[in-house]
């Protein structure tokens, strides 16, 4: 270690303690900042001779480091403390590197200056984000295990909950901050943006203004909140917005899109989404924006003219493996009631791309099999069912009727029969898929390839619900609910950026699993033993210059890694 004196453009001199280390992978030497000290003129107010003082401190640090590296003697009779937890995580340092690369610590430090709070907002945010990624659970669980990371934890549980209220006040500004850092670092591509909506349930009985009963993606009866998420062309989340649970999916797109275009300056952007967002209002506004849209379009729910065109065998190009495709220019006539109640009628120049996939055909029939079996079961034993649990299957049953008050099936068994015609009508469209775009001048391939990227946002929601366990939500106040989803969003961005930096070699699940397993146990005299390494950690180590294969580290060495990674 040595004292580094860095002259700055303003004429001042900045001091820091640095150390040269050898990268375990590249074998090249690199200088790591161990401790930032400050400007010399400021330090002279604290020490009569700062240079001599810190040179002496470096000598002390070197001596302590040498002492810790001395031979370690272990006793075979050593025992654990009762209720003691001597195991700590080390893999989180990779998440910490991205967290600090985004400058979230600087954002929170700036906000803290204007708040009259004694606890450290950044320490709490780090804890909640890292636990959400590696050991997801309640905020209380994260606090009870706050010593799991090598981080500052001088706060109590009340501070954690109070901080949630603070986080909620700057949820939008933090999203914007992260967007700007990503744009600076990676040159974010927002010319194509992907949008989707999902919902998260609460295990409660009573509804409120935000938590409302609506159409649950998981078909649960609990109150839910809707989340709209916007993602860039690289699969990195841009922003999110919460809506009451009874908000229709199609009503969420324009509010978040207008906010993002106004505040983020994303400019021209093609919005890609599924058929649930393909409404007359959304299509009209996007078609008249500087970008446009690429939507999927249901065939069964389309008009007679579209169905006729899809089923007409003329015009299809036969491709390999049974695929076929055709397209046409089409004028879409839309009519809707605007937000101010005014009726708008307009024409939209659109391109429709239709393709048939044998795989989609088989999948549609397989997905329908359970519904058909359920319809047949209802016909055999209608007393076992009611209006609620016959949803989807009732369309395949002739003459089914319900009691308006109880929902019970009142049609006699002798009159119930399977609707073969309804089944044949549905089967006609199996395997066909329609994508529509206001970018009517683009090629079929461009429209199809652009739409294919939508799977990333669907997978991102799966990561949120499975890996991050974002639901059920375990806080009840609206401001704390907002903070919960902000923490989940920050976690999502971090893991997606890490995955991208690893060149998408591994799934998010595999990365998080490896980082969570990268742990160490305290042995004796500030020495920790590491017992896990794998190919993910090897690649992460190559990215950040950390040797995850090292079996023993002193506490000083670990803290040095933790400190240096924050300036990576």
Choose the weakest-confidence range: 19-33, 35-49, 433-447. Answer: 19-33
pLDDT band with cut points at 50, 70 and 90 for residue 26: low
Note the residue count of the chain: 568
**Three-state SS for 262?**
helix
Choose the weakest-confidence range: 53-57, 131-135, 204-208, 564-568. Answer: 564-568
What average pLDDT does range 320-340 have in this prediction? 92
pLDDT, tens digit, for every residue of 73-130? 656 666 656 555 678 999 999 999 999 999 999 999 999 998 888 899 999 999 999 9
Question: Could you confirm whether domain 2-68 is CATH 3.10.450?
Answer: yes
CB 92 within 8 A of CB 542: no
pTM of this structure: 0.81
pLDDT at position 23 is: 59
**Run of H or E including 174:** helix 171-186
CB 58 within 8 A of CB 66: no
pLDDT, tens digit, for every residue of 3-14? 888 888 888 888
pLDDT band with cut points at 50, 70 and 90 for residue 170: very high
Q: What is the CA radius of gyration of the chain?
A: 29
Burial environment of residue 170 by CB neighbours within 10 A (0 to 12, 13 to 18, 19 or more): middle
pLDDT, tens digit, for every residue of 182-235? 999 988 888 999 999 988 888 888 888 899 988 887 778 889 999 999 999 888
Compute the distance between CA of residue 240 and CA of residue 381 in angstroms, rounded to an integer. Answer: 46
Give, in degrees to the nearest 5, the angle at Cα 532 between 528 and 535.
Answer: 135
Q: For the CA atoms of 558, 562, 563, 566, what is the dihedral angle to 10 degrees? A: 160
Compute the distance between CA of residue 353 and CA of residue 370 in angstroms, rounded to an integer. Answer: 30
pLDDT at position 54 is: 87
Query: CATH 3.10.450 in the chain, residues?
Result: 2-68
Lookup result for tokens 């709490």: 124
DSSP 503: T
Torsion angles phi and psi, residue 523, rounded to 5: -95, -70
Pick 173 or 469 by higher pLDDT: 173
pLDDT, tens digit, for every residue of 307-320? 999 999 999 999 88
Compute the distance between CA of residue 27 and CA of residue 22 in angstroms, rounded to an integer. Answer: 6
Lookup result for tokens 């990215």: 543
DSSP assignments along 27-94, one per residue: --EEEEEEEEEEEHHHHTTT-SSHHHHHHHHHHHHHHHHHHHTSPP---TT--PPTT---EEE-THHH
Compute the distance between CA of residue 565 and CA of residue 260 in angstroms, rounded to an integer. Answer: 32
CB 436 within 8 A of CB 352: yes
- CB-facing half-sphere around the CA of 60: CA atoms within 13 A: 6
pLDDT at position 93 is: 96
Burial environment of residue 411 by CB neighbours within 10 A (0 to 12, 13 to 18, 19 or more): middle
- CA distances to 104, 344, 523, 525, 561 from 73, rounded to whole Å, are 42, 82, 10, 9, 25
- The 10 Å Cβ neighbour count of residue 432 is 19
| Residue 24 confidence (pLDDT) above 60 | no
Compute the distance between CA of residue 503 and CA of residue 334 in angstroms, rounded to an integer. Answer: 43
* Percent of the chain at pLDDT exceeding 70: 95
Give, in degrees to the nearest 5, the angle at Cα 271 between 265 and 276.
Answer: 135
pLDDT at position 18 is: 83
pLDDT at position 475 is: 84
Instruction: Locate 534 and state its tokens.
Output: 């794998």
pLDDT at position 296 is: 94
Q: Is the dihedral of CA 84, 90, 91, 93 positive or negative?
A: positive
- The 10 Å Cβ neighbour count of residue 231 is 25
pLDDT at position 27 is: 57
Mean pLDDT (the chain, rounded): 89
| Residue 38 confidence (pLDDT) above 90 | no
| Residue 284 confidence (pLDDT) above 90 | yes
CA 488 to mean position of chain CA atoms: 7
| Residue 283 confidence (pLDDT) above 60 | yes
pLDDT at position 568 is: 56
What average pLDDT does range 368-393 have in this prediction? 93
pLDDT at position 82 is: 53
Instruction: Locate 9 and state its tokens.
Output: 């453009």
Choose the weakest-confidence range: 129-138, 204-213, 250-259, 421-430. Answer: 204-213
DSSP assignments along 393-434, one per residue: TGGGEET--B-TTT-BB-S-GGG-EE-HHHHHHHHTTTTEEE
Lookup result for tokens 């042995």: 523
Give, in degrees to the nearest 5, the angle at Cα 245 between 239 and 248.
Answer: 80
pLDDT band with cut points at 50, 70 and 90 for residue 386: very high
């Amino acid at each position: 270690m040595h004292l580094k004196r860095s002259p700055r453009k303003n004429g001042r001199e900045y001091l820091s303690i640095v150390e040269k280390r050898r990268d375990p992978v590249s074998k090249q030497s690199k200088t790591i900042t161990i401790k930032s000290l400050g400007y010399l003129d400021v330090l002279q107010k604290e020490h009569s001779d700062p240079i001599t003082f810190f040179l002496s401190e470096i000598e002390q640090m070197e001596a302590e480091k040498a002492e810790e590296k001395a031979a370690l003697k272990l006793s075979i009779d050593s025992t654990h403390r009762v209720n003691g937890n001597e195991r700590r995580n080390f893999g989180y340092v990779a998440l910490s590197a991205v967290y600090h690369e985004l400058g979230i610590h600087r954002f929170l430090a700036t906000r803290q200056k204007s708040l009259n709070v004694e606890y450290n907002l950044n320490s709490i945010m780090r804890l909640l984000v890292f636990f959400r990624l590696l050991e997801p659970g309640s905020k209380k669980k994260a606090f009870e295990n706050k010593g799991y990371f090598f981080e500052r934890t001088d706060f109590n549980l009340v501070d954690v909950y109070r901080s949630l209220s603070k986080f909620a006040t700057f949820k939008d500004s933090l999203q914007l901050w992260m967007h700007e850092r990503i744009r600076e670092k990676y040159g974010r591509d927002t010319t194509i943006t992907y949008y989707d909506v999902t919902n998260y349930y609460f295990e409660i009985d009573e509804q409120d203004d935000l938590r409302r009963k609506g159409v649950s993606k998981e078909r649960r009866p609990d109150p839910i909140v809707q989340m709209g998420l916007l993602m860039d062309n690289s699969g990195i989340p841009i922003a999110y917005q919460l809506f009451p649970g009874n908000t229709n999916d199609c009503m969420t797109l324009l509010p978040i899109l207008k906010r993002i275009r106004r505040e983020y300056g994303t400019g021209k952007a093609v919005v890609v989404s599924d058929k649930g967002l393909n409404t007359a209002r959304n299509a009209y506004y996007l078609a008249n924006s500087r970008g446009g849209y690429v939507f999927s379009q249901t065939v069964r729910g389309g008009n007679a003219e579209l169905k006729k065109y899809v089923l007409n065998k003329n015009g299809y190009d036969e491709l390999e493996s049974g695929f076929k495709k055709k397209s046409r220019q089409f004028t879409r006539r839309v009519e809707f009631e605007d937000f101010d109640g005014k009726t708008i009628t307009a024409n939209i120049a659109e391109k429709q791309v239709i393709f048939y996939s044998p795989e989609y055909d088989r999948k549609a029939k397989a997905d329908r099999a359970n519904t058909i079996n359920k319809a047949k079961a209802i016909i055999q034993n209608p007393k076992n069912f009611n209006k609620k649990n016959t949803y989807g299957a009732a369309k395949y049953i002739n003459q089914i009727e319900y009691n308006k008050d109880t929902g019970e099936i009142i049609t006699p068994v002798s009159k119930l029969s399977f609707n073969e015609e309804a089944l044949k009508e549905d089967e006609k469209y199996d395997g066909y898929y329609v994508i529509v775009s206001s970018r009517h001048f683009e090629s079929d391939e461009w429209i199809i390839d652009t739409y294919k990227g939508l799977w990333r946002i669907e997978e991102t929601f799966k990561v949120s619900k499975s890996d991050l366990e974002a639901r059920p939500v375990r806080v009840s106040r609206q401001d704390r609910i907002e903070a919960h989803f902000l923490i989940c969003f920050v976690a999502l961005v971090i893991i997606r950026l890490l995955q991208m930096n690893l060149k998408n070699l591994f799934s998010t699940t595999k990365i998080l699993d490896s980082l969570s397993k990268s742990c160490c146990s305290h042995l004796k005299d500030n020495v920790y033993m590491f017992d896990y390494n794998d190919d993910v950690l090897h690649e992460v180590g190559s990215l950040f210059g950390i040797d995850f294969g090292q079996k023993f580290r002193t506490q000083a060495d670990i803290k040095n890694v933790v400190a240096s990674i924050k300036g990576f």
